[in-house]
Homo-oligomer: A and B are copies of this chain.
Amino acid sequence: MGSERIAPVPFHRVSIDDRFWSPRIETNRDVTIPLGYEQCRKTGRLDAWKLNWKDGDPRRPHIFWDSDVAKWMEAAACSLRLHRDDSLEENLNNIISLMEKAQQPDGYLNSYFTAVEPEKRWTNLRDRHELYCAGHLVEAAVAHSFATGDDRFISIARRYADCIDSTFGSGADRKRGYPGHEELELALVKLFRATDERRYLELAVFFLNERGTKPHYYDLESVSRGEEPARNYEYWQAHLPVREQKEAVGHAVRAMYLYCGMADAAIETGDGELAEACRVLWRNVTERKMYITGGIGSTAQGESFTADYDLPNETAYAETCAAIGLVFWAHRMLHIDERPNSKYADVMERSLYNCVLSGVSLEGTRFFYTNPLEVRPGHAMAQSGSENNYRYSRQEWFSCSCCPTNIVRILSSFGQYIYSRTDDSIYVHLYAGSTAEMVMSGIRVNIRQETEYPWKGEVTLFVEPEKSVEFTLFLRIPGWCENAYLKLNGEEVKQFPVTDGYVHIRRLWRKDDILHLVLPMPVRKIEAHPEVRDNCGKIAIMRGPIVYCLEEEDNMPDLQDIRLDSSAELKAGYDGSLLGGCTVITGTACIRQSGGWVDKLYRPGLTETVPVGIKAIPYCLWNNRKPGGMLVWISVN
C-alpha cells in the first residue's frame, strides 16, 4: 500500500450525471447563483465595496456583508470551473476590481471598517465579524484561483492575509486576538495549500492555539473599549483552549467552522492532540446533539447548541448553515485518519440529503434559514409572532443571508464529497451518478457510477482503467444499511471484507470491470435515544438516507393526532410526478374519532380510533407546495 495521504477527489474531477443531484446542481447554477448576485446587488452588498457610504445613507453597509459577497464569489468560481458563463465571469471580475480598488495600502480589505467605522478596525474581534469576513474572502479567492487560473483575486487575498499575519501573532508587536466568528482558520489552511506558504498555516494554528487562553483576549479587548467583558465565552467556543473542549457549545455555525479549522490544522501538522479533540467533539455532536435530519443547534437563542439530547422538534433552529458546516467538518474528519471511517460519511450523507437540501426550494429561489422538524402554522404564529413566518415558509432572502450563500457554494462544489483517494486506493463515500477521473500508478482510471440512489439502493460501478492497474477500491456500506450485497462482473462476492464501514477489493482492475452493489432499502421506523424527551413515544420514518415527513397537504391538519402502530406496514413507491420525482411512503395509521367534543376541551376516557391512510414525503422536499403543517416524529402505538 502507498503512503500518500488520503485526499478528496476535487469537484472538477467529478462530473455529476444523476437523477437526484443533477437537477439541484443545475438549478443552483442557472437560478440560484444569478439570484444571489442580484440580491447582493439590490441590497447594496456590492456597492458597499465602492467605499462611498456617507452618514445618513439608509443602505449602511453591515459588518457581515463582505462574507455574503465572498461566499457568492466562491460559488460562482466553482460553477465557472464546470460550466462556462461569460456573464457570470464578468460579474465576478467586476467585484474583484471593486475589491482591488478597495484594498488599503497595507492590504486591509473590509468594506464596512474601511468606509463606515475605520477607527474601529481590530477593536472588537469578538463581535464584529472582521476576521470572519476575511476568511470568506480568502476561501473565495482560493476557489477563484483554482477555477480560473487567474491570480488577481488570490493576490488580493494574500495581501490581506499578510496584513493580518503582520497584525496578529505571539510577537510583542502583535495582537494576540483570534476570530470571534471562526472561519479564517480553515481559510488560511486552504490558502496554505494553494500557495505552499507555510506562514498561513502557522497563523491558523496560532489562532487555534490562542483561543480560550488566559488572560482572555476578549476581556482585554472589552476593557479597551470601556465595556464589561462577556459573562462567559461558550457562545464563541472561547471558554477553554480548543484542545480542552469536550462538548460542542455555543453558536453552532461558529463551532462547525472552528472544528473544520482544527481538523485541517491537525491534518496538515500531524497534531494528534488536535485530531483527538476533533474526535471527542464529533462524538458529542453526532451522538447527543444532532437532529435525525443532520441539523444541529437546537435553539434560536444564540443559534446555539444546548444540552445533550435536547432536540425539540417544533422550535428546532437547525440552521441551514450549521448543517452545511457539519458536512464540511464530516468531510474533513473523513480525511483526518490514515483511513476514512464511514461514520463520518454517514453523517455527511445524513445532512446533505436532509437538512442541507431542505434549505432551498426545488425551484432554487427560496430559502430556509431554520429547519424545524415539526410545524403547526397557527401555533408557530401564536408563539413567535407573524414576523417569524420564515420558520415555516421559505423566504427569498434574509437581512442576514448566510444560508443562501452557503447553499450555492456547497451545491456548486458537490462533486468533491463523493470520492477520495490515496496513491493506490480509491474510496467511494457517496452514491450518485457520476464519473471521477484519477490517475493511479500513472494510469488514468475513471470510476463511473450509475444509480437511482437515494430512491433505489442498486449502484453499478464501472471501473474504467486505461489499462489494467492494481489498486484497492473501497465502497462505503452506509450505517443505515443491513444485508448489503456485492457482485463483481456478475459473480456474487461472498463474505467481502469490511473495514471501518468500507468494503474493499484489491485486484488488478481491468477495463469493463463492473461492480454491482445492492444496498437494500426497507422502510425503517427509527427511534431516538430515550433521553431525547421530545421523541419519546414517537418514531421517524427513514428509507435509505432519506428522512421522511408528513405534510398537511398529503394528510390532514392535525398531524399530531396520527398514531402509527409499531407493526404497521409502510410501503415505498416512486412517484415520478411528485416534487420532481421521489419515493413516497404510504401506510395505514389511526386517528381519534372526531365526534363528541362539542363544548368540551377535556373529557374522561380514551377515544376510539379509526384507521387513516398516511403518506410521507422526503423531508428535504417539504414546503414546496402550499404552506402547512409538517411532522417528522410520529406518535406510535
Chain A interface (Cβ within 8 Å of chain B)? 283, 286-288, 290, 292, 298-299, 301, 306-307, 310, 312, 315, 376, 378-379, 381-385, 480, 524-534, 536-537, 539-540, 542, 558, 560-561, 563, 566, 591-592, 594, 597, 599-607, 635-637
Contacts and interface: CB of A to CB of B under 8 A. Distances in A.
A528 B601 contact: yes
A520 to B, nearest CB: 13
Contacts of A384: 301
A607 B527 contact: yes
B635 A536 contact: yes
Contact of A560 (B287, B524, B533, B635): B533
Counted per complex, copies of this chain come to 2
A607 B531 CA distance: 13
Nearest to A531: B558
Contacts of A603: 526-527
B383 A306 contact: yes
A383 B539 contact: no
Given A533-B558, A606-B527, A637-B637, A286 B379 contact: no
A533 B376 contact: yes
B597 A539 contact: no
A366 B636 CA distance: 40
A634 to B, nearest CB: 10
A317 to B, nearest CB: 11
Complex A-B, nearest 5 residue pairs according to Cβ-Cβ distance, in ascending order: A306-B382, A533-B560, A537-B635, A536-B560, A524-B604
A524 B292 CA distance: 36
Contacts of A299: 382-383
A147 to B, nearest CB: 38
Contacts of A286: 601
Contacts of A528: 601-602
B532 A591 contact: no
A446 B284 CA distance: 69
Given A526-B603, A530-B592, 18 more contacts: A287-B600, A288-B601, A301-B383, A306-B383, A307-B379, A310-B382, A312-B379, A312-B383, A525-B604, A525-B606, A527-B592, A528-B602, A529-B600, A530-B607, A536-B560, A536-B561, A537-B635, A540-B602
Contact of A307 (B283, B315, B381, B601): B381
A603 B283 CA distance: 16
A382 B383 CA distance: 18
Contacts of A385: 301
A542 B298 CA distance: 34
Contact of A379 (B480, B533, B558): B533
A561 B601 CA distance: 25
A606 B382 CA distance: 34
A558 B536 CA distance: 9
Nearest to A287: B601
Contacts of A563: 536-537
Nearest to A299: B383
A484 to B, nearest CB: 15
A378 B532 CA distance: 12
Contacts of A594: 530
Contacts of A525: 604-606
